[in-house]
Amino acid sequence: MSENVQHSVRSEVPIPGGRKLLLDLRSNGERIPAVLLLPHSERLMPASLLLHGLSLDKERMAGMAGPALMSRGIVSMALDLPLHGERGGGKQPTPSANPFEMMRRWRAALDESALALRYLAARPDIDHSRISLMGYSLGAFIGLKVATGNPQVRSLVLAAGGDLPDYTPFISIVRAMADPLKMVRNLRGRPLLMVHGKHDRAVTPLQAERLFNAAPEPKKIQWWDCGHILPPQAIDDAASWIAEQ
């Protein structure tokens, strides 16, 4: 039961095609705000965990991908990661210059994402054998690590994600904690979709190609004529791909 994961429902409202719940999960004394979109269905539903990018939040991720998933009968859950959204205190999150603080935030994001997966898998209206993950930019980096450590993630979408840039601060520490090339090899046959802009300067096409080339089959990459911000059609196509899996 989802009651095994400490949580509370702040609000629940009807929306076209289903319901929108604002939740608070609890982990190590931290409140983790989340948005859960539930389609109308009398059957067990597949679900997808949505992880946002740097300076974004749960509402933005839920707004981008949630309706496309809901229209296909897929539950979605988006979190505010550490220092983002309701947890940001009104400040723009910035990368830490302290490698130990960076590691603490990284581990917290991983633990909280894994907690959200446990919550989804325990809900009586969700089919725990059909859970996917979609991560955008920073969320793609975190999501890749979460997926490799959590076999309940059956398929993975990395939007505007890729290998580390060569100029990453403390790159040896980051590689030791989470090397995307090593992580992606550990998907062990779970389907992977990468969605990327041809003109992305934040996560370059070269970084995306390095990650894609390291990934095992089955895998697919879709290129879009854009920069780091992907068009709505890219997200809609990704939702269709999740539904096919």
pLDDT-derived band at 236 (thresholds 50, 70, 90) equals very high
| Torsion of the alpha carbons at 172, 185, 68 and 236, rounded to the nearest 10 | 90
pLDDT-derived band at 1 (thresholds 50, 70, 90) equals very low
Read off the pLDDT of residues 193-232 as tens digits, 9 standing for 90 and up. 999 999 999 999 999 999 999 999 999 999 999 999 999 9
Task: Specify the amino acid at residue 142.
Answer: I
Read off the pLDDT of residues 12-71 as tens digits, 9 standing for 90 and up. 999 999 999 999 999 888 899 999 999 999 999 999 999 999 989 999 999 999 999 999
Token pair of 203, please?
């996560």
Backbone dihedral angles phi then psi of residue 104, each to the nearest 5 degrees: -65, -45
Alpha helices by DSSP H, listed for 150-220, are 171-177, 180-185, 205-214
Domain span at residue 56 reads 2-244
* pLDDT of res. 89: 64
Q: Cα separation of 61 and 77, whole Å?
A: 9
Read off the pLDDT of residues 144-166 as tens digits, 9 standing for 90 and up. 999 999 999 999 999 999 999 88
CATH number at residue 145: 3.40.50.1820
Cβ atoms of 116 and 34 within 8 Å: the answer is yes
Read off the pLDDT of residues 98-133 as tens digits, 9 standing for 90 and up. 555 666 777 889 999 999 999 999 999 999 999 999
Q: Cα separation of 162 and 144, whole Å?
A: 10
22-26, 73-77, 86-90, 166-170: the lowest-pLDDT one? 166-170
Q: Cα separation of 117 and 133, whole Å?
A: 9
Read off the pLDDT of residues 164-178 as tens digits, 9 standing for 90 and up. 988 766 667 777 778
Name which residue leads in pLDDT, 93 or 146.
Answer: 146
* pLDDT of res. 3: 52
Q: Containing H/E element for 241? A: helix 232-244
Q: Cα separation of 161 and 203, whole Å?
A: 6
* Number of domains forming the structure of the chain: 1
223 CB burial (10 A radius; 0-12, 13-18, 19+): middle
**10 Å Cβ neighbour count for 122?**
14
* pLDDT of res. 166: 80
* pLDDT of res. 160: 98
* pLDDT of res. 177: 75
Q: Which residue's structure tokens are 């911000």?
A: 229
Q: Is the pLDDT of residue 185 over 70?
A: yes
Q: Cα separation of 18 and 209, whole Å?
A: 38
The Cα angle at residue 164 between residues 63 and 110, in degrees rounded to 5:
55
